[in-house]
Amino acid sequence: MANPTALATLRGQLEAERASLQHQLDELRASGDKSLSFDENFADSGQVAAEQGESRLLAASLSDQLQEVERALHKFDAGTYGKCETCGEDVAEARLEAMPATRYCINHA
């Protein structure tokens, strides 16, 4: 993938995605479980526990996505962005546009 304009656009998208994910994680962590706290005698503590679990799963998912975006940005810096991590071939530009943080070509996805 040698098109400098496309690369600049993809890098910008990844940087925006990183900022968005970090913001979401920061908000989630700031609210913590405070918004889901409950009185020990609360009748529906099971629902609160389920919501706390969902919150933890969301944080884990956001962290995983952030890690993938940061990996892609690191590959930009290393000059290896757009190369499949399995075969080393170029990842199709259309695939990168659809999934800028992808690590694999369509054959190894």
pLDDT digits over 28-59, tens only? Answer: 888 765 554 555 556 666 776 777 778 889 99
Torsion sign (Cα): 61, 84, 106, 13: positive
Q: Give me the residue spans of the domains in the chain.
A: 4-80
Residue 31's nearest CA partner among 55, 53, 48 is 55
Q: What is the pTM of this model?
A: 0.81
Give residue 2's pLDDT: 65
Average pLDDT in the 80-97 region? 96
